[in-house]
Structure 1
Amino acid sequence: MKKKTPYHVLRMPLMLFMLIVGFAAMYVANTASNINLSSGWLTHYSDITQMWQEQIIFGGLLAEEVLLWLGDWLIRRGRLWLLLPQLGFAISTTVALTNQMPVLFFGVIPTMAIEIINLYSRPKQALGYLAGVSLLIWLVYAAYNGWLQGVAVLVGLVFMLLVVIAYWRFFQQQQAARQRAEDLVSELKIAYSQVEESTVRTERQRVARELHDTLTQGLAGTVMQLEAAQAFLQAGKDDRALEVIQGATGIARDTLRDTRLTLTDLRATSEQSLTARLELLAEAFMKNYHLEVSVKMNYVPDYSGAQLTEINRIVSEALINVVKHTDTKQAIVRGESLEDIFRLQVIDFGEGAVMKKKSGHFGMQGMHERATALDGALTVVSTPGEGTTVTLTMPVTKKEQL
């Protein structure tokens, strides 16, 4: 079912239209000749002076403006409370002001027609009634003022009818366009909710993988070590049990560090800038591995959250490699944009050992796969005795999904 246009949207244009019609009627009252000799049925009783006709026009116009202003309140009580008084106004002008009737009549009837179109879901029947009453008023007018003048008024009525039909067609087109827009918005909301659900599901799967790679495997290794230590203790091999316990302690510490790093990565996804995410990462590496990471970002393009997450993980994996494969305690992360290319580098000052691609959570293979997903490339340059530089080069194009 199509929604109706609120009446308050129509109120001011209709009031302005009737005001213009009222001024036109005043002009006719001031310029028409022989106005006292052809002033409707009241001619049989008394002549109406020009001043009284102007007052009748002004009073009727004022009443019509008040009706339009109170339209919302009247409609809540019933639509006829708004329409019938206006129809009475149109009939009364026919009876009292025959010469001025066409001007006021041409204003009131189109106003009522527009109101009916907007207030009724199926306005054809109500418009039919209005057309019948209008025809009756015209017949009365023609009977008292002559058929020649009646034909002239009929031409004006036909013109106003065409105006109303044109408005009705325009109104229906606007209603159809509004309905299509509302349907499109509804479809977009559904699509957005589906994308949001898919994103949440993907994020849950990623968190599950992260915890499996860190916490689950670490705990499994710790449990195995402790079970072995228990077996050695039962066999009386205390020295061997102590060595196993020390190994389990080391595994637990590594697991704790990796878990903290995973939680830091999850926290970083809520940040909107790459610099903020990398600073969180630097803070985590300082606390967990005592690796001092300096972040220097010159300019970061307007990347999506998905892109920032992948870039952050590449940096995280590169820093983990620094911790695992070097003995340095300093690293630099710097980024800059050159025309349509963004370049990010992770530089360490270790011994320059070349890292091979291998499977695993922090392997080089994963870094290259993430770079490919970003439509970029990853290069590793290692100089013995000076250090290693990992460079990510990617376009500045924003991509919502990878």
Structure 2
Amino acid sequence: MVVWWDVAFVAILLLTAIQIAVGGARGTDLLLSCVAVAAIGLAYAGWGGPAARSRNQKAAVAYLVVVVIGTGAALTRSGDASLLLFAAFAHCWMLLDRRGWSVVASAALALSASLGILVREGFTPRTMTAVPAQMGVVLVFAVGLGMWVAWTMRRGEEHARLVDELRAAQDALARSHHAAGVEAERARIAREIHDTLAQGFTSVVMQAQAASAVLDVDGGAQAARDRLRLIEETARDNLDEARALVAAFAPAPLKEKSLLEALGRLVTRFGDETGLEAWFVVDGVLNLPPSAEVVLLRVAQEGLANVRRHAGAGAVEVRLTRVDDTVLLEVSDDGRGLPGGFGLGAGEGFGLSGMRERVAMAGGDLSIGPGRTGGTVLVARLPLNDAEDRGRRTGATEGRQG
């Protein structure tokens, strides 16, 4: 932008010099007028131009002093030097940061120009009346135009500043969302690994230990083979879970099976691995949204894992029921119960806290406490969207009829 100011100013200086030369100025008048124009040009190159870029107010004032004096001096010799006023008034407003100083500089320029014209025309009653009046009109117009230009420029600068702040805020928000997304994805992967792979590996270790123990017993070969078969099945399931996790698919047990089939197989496998009595009970549950099925499956996996590690139970029951627009999953055992001081957030490990967070994200709640006849019961409650569930139920019915 400043480059165009430079070009325009140089063009005005050249046009002024040419107009003075062709306008009839000769000898000393031509020489002094051209010297004044040249002095203004040199002052702009040394002070005015750099001040326009750096906003150095001392350099701007020094340049404008030369402009005021040079314009008045040129007008004492040639009326064609009045072309300089176009650039001079504009520079009073462009270079000074304070409007008050711009008004003062404009008034000084108008006074210098008036004196220059009066010196050239003579101090007669007519000129002393006409010249100040004409220059006063020019001054009012210049100040009004300068105020409007200054207001426009400041509005433009404010707009540019607001745009920069908005872009900075958008960038910060994007970075925040990205960081939150990364953190959420890390937490999701951590929960998935804990709920699937870690528990599968725990099962493999326990089955391997059990297989080693029965090898030393007479007739233990068949029992060892049974344990090895369970190890193989668990390892294959873990491999499927790992592949589904990497590909961000639904849990492997739900890819080709319903939730009821997946939970039934989970409970049966748990009973085979631990030797506990394990039951799966279903009461009035039809098709559920996929998101709810994933949450319920993970809760059942974590609940059974806690029974395996901590309960010391002889029996466990997984019950899936539906009451109106709420589905409940209960995992209860007849074990030793909860330790003393256990409560919400107290004594909970990563598994329970992650399970509670997973259920809360689905809009439900999770509770854990003593069972009605001893042991521990874990209950997850999930609200369901009736309209969505009816649509899924109708689609499932039509699929079965087809």
- TM-score, normalisation: structure 2: 0.55
Corresponding residue for residue 226 of structure 1 = 208
Distance in 2 (alpha carbons) for counterparts of 1:370 and 1:238: 39
Give matches, 1:234-273, under 5 Å.
Answer: 235-262=217-244, 264-265=246-247
Partner of 1:216: 198
Number of the residue aligned with 1:89? 67
Q: 1:111 aligns with which of 79, 91, 108?
A: 91
Match of 1:155 in 2: 137
Determine whether 1:134 maps to 2:36: no
- CA pair 197-366 structure 1, distance change in 2 beyond 3 A: farther
The alpha-carbon deviation at position 320 of structure 1 amounts to 4.4
- Cα distance in 2 between the residues matched to 1:255 and 1:318: 8
Amino acid at match of 1:21: I
Q: Distance in 1 between the 2:115 and 2:44 partners? A: 26
1:358 — aligned with what? Answer: 260
CA contact (8 A) 2:196 2:241 kept: yes
Tell me how far 1:113 sits from its aligned partner. 1.8
- Residue 151 to residue 24, structure 1, CA distance change in 2 (3 Å): farther
Deviation at 1:215, TM superposition (A): 0.7
* Bigger radius of gyration among the two: 2
Offset, 1:251? 3.6
Task: Give how far 1:220 is off.
Answer: 2.3
**Post-superposition CA distance 1:127-163 (Å, at most 9, x none):** 2552453354245336524321232233222222222
Q: CA deviation at 1:176?
A: 1.8
Q: Distance in 1 between matches of 2:148 and 2:154?
A: 10
**Equivalent residues in 2 for 1:272-287 (5 A)?**
none
**Normalised by the size of structure 1, how large is the TM-score?**
0.55
SS of alignment partner, residue 28 of structure 2: coil
Distance in 1, Cα, partners of 2:261 & 2:82? 90
Task: Give CA deviations for 1:253-304 in whole Å, capped at 9, x if unaligned.
Answer: 3145225404531xxxxxxxxxxxxxxxxxxxxxxxxxxxxxxxxxxxxxxx
Please tell me whether the aligned partners of residues 142 and 150 of structure 1 are also in contact (alpha carbons under 8 angstroms): no
Which residue matches 2:180? Answer: 198
Q: What is the CA-CA distance between 1:199 and the residue it aligns to?
A: 1.3
Q: 1:58 to 1:138 in 2, by over 3 A?
A: closer
Structure 2 unaligned regions, length at least 5: 122-126, 267-286, 295-383
1:187 aligns with 2:165: no
Q: 2:28 aligns with which of 41, 48, 53?
A: 48
Amino acid at match of 2:50: G
Aligned residue identity for 2:85: F
Quote the residue 2:4 is aligned against.
Answer: 13
Does the 8 Å CA contact 2:214/2:220 hold for their aligned counterparts?
yes
User: Residue type of the partner of 2:70?
Assistant: S
Contact 2:89 2:109 (8 Å CA) reproduced:
yes
Q: Secondary structure at the match of 2:260?
A: coil
What amino acid does structure 2 have at the position aligned with 1:160? Answer: A
2-structure distance, mates of 1:49, 1:191: 67
Kindly provide the amino acid, as one letter, of the partner of residue 210 in structure 1: E
Report the 3-state secondary structure (helix = DSSP H, G, I; strand = E; otherwise coil) of the residue aligned with 1:358: helix
Check whether the contact 1:93–1:104 (CA below 8 A) recurs between aligned residues: yes
2-structure distance, mates of 1:143, 1:195: 70
CA distance in 2, matches of 1:129, 1:258: 83
State the percentage of identical aligned residues: 14
Equivalence for 2:346: none
- Map of 1:296-375 to 2, 5 A cutoff? 313=249, 320-321=255-256, 355-358=257-260, 367=290
1:356-380 CA-to-partner distances (Å, cap 9, x unmatched) read 443859998564769999x9x9867
Report the Cα distance in structure 2 between the residues aligned to 1:171 and 1:73, rounded to whole angstroms.
Answer: 14
Instruction: Judge conservation of contact 1:116–1:126 (CA < 8 Å) in 2.
Output: yes
Deviation of 1:32 (Å): 5.0
CA distance in 2: counterparts of 1:245 and 1:318, whole angstroms: 21
Distance in 1, Cα, partners of 2:179 & 2:261? 30
Aligned residues: 277
